Amino acid sequence: MTVSTYNPADYINNDVTHAANAPTVANKLATHTIDTTPANNSDDIVRVMPSLADLQKPHSDQEFIDKAMREESSNHNNLIASSREELPTVSVNGVMIDKTAIAQELQYHPAKDKDDALFLAAQALVVRELLRIAVLEDESLGESAWIDDEEQAISALIDKNVQAVMPDIDTCKRYYQQNTADFKTDPIMSVRHILLACLPEDGEERLAVKKTAYEMIEQINSNANPDAEFIQIARQHSACPSKEADGELGVVSKGQTVSEFESVLFSLETGLAPSPIESRYGFHIVEVLDKQPGIQMTYDQVAAAISNKLSQQAFHQSLCDYLFRLADEAEIDGIEMVLEQENIFRG
């Protein structure tokens, strides 16, 4: 078994994928991943605008790490839940988790707030210590295996103690019947737009631009030739490079643009949208030229993917159960462990 990063978002419907960039043990515990990514012909795709992934900058907690390390001048015994601007004191069977290691681990656990990041970082290191202890106590592994190759020793330990259960055909079919909506391809749309740009932090300007967008929509609808009017406004006023193509964006599918634009766009029907779509870029006057609905896939088309997904879930639950047993047998101070799939495999 090869230990690598498991991403709970890598499921059948292939939402936004994500993988941790560092080999932390909590993130490398197990994987039985499947490749269901559809073929992507980049020549047929025209992006609405820079995607969310293009805009995101690398996450960094370095400023918080430096500040926390400077303020760590005494031995605190707070739980993670009550730790604010300090690094927690955590121990496993009397062995202290190094606070510098916690600070370094933070960068691998982006979270909604600092407390959550602290908890995930500390728990990851506690899990590593639990696995180290289990390796040392295993007769066929022992200290020499840990010294030779820590990650390989953990893999061998997990192979011995955690087993994936393959679901039977009836279970897979039942899952398909209960989740048919999950096995439908995304719709595709032919779209054109007019972007009236404004900064997201300028409230007054956004109100003015929004009003202008509504006026332009009314102007297009009331014109004897709305198609020509849309093109003229796009060429004169759109802040998007697509204005050179009369505002046309080509074929658009889900995942190509920022979420706030996409969430509204795919709810539209064919024709000029009655309201502008607001995004971080400004306001978009949108016309859907064509919309092809998604196609329902048959059970036979997704049977292998369903079996793989259910096997992954069973394996990850078994792994959580195993880690819970290790934690239950150990004396852990300074943190209340939450050994569930959503946080064990998070980050």
Interval 143-147 mean pLDDT? 93
Q: Is 3 helix (H, G, I), strand (E, B) or coil?
A: coil
Q: Which residues contact 71 (CB under 8 A, 6 or more apart)?
A: 85, 86
Give the pLDDT confidence score for residue 56 in this predicted structure: 45
- CA–CA distances in Å: residue 202 to residues 79, 151, 213, 215: 41, 50, 16, 20
Give the pLDDT confidence score for residue 29 in this predicted structure: 53
Contact between 5 and 31 (Cβ < 8 Å): yes
**Predicted TM-score of the model (pTM):** 0.53
Interval 257-285 mean pLDDT? 92
- DSSP 8-state class, residue 333: E
Res 299 pLDDT > 90? yes
Interval 100-122 mean pLDDT? 86
Give the pLDDT confidence score for residue 36 in this predicted structure: 37
CA 130 to chain centre: 27
Domain 186-292 listed as CATH 3.10.50.40: yes
Interval 303-312 mean pLDDT? 93
Give the pLDDT confidence score for residue 304 in this predicted structure: 93
Interval 223-239 mean pLDDT? 95
- CA–CA distances in Å: residue 189 to residues 52, 192, 250, 266, 289: 19, 10, 8, 8, 7
- DSSP 8-state class, residue 245: G
Residue-wise pLDDT tens digits, 38-92 = 444 444 333 344 444 444 444 444 555 455 455 443 333 334 444 444 788 899 9
Residue-wise pLDDT tens digits, 6-39 = 333 333 444 333 333 334 444 445 443 433 334 4
Give the pLDDT confidence score for residue 57 in this predicted structure: 43
Res 172 pLDDT > 50? yes
Start-end of CATH 3.10.50.40 domains in the chain: 186-292
Percent of the chain with pLDDT over 70: 73
DSSP result, 81-115: GG-SSS----EETTEEPPHHHHHHHGGG---SSHH
Considering the chain, what is the average pLDDT of its residues?
Answer: 78
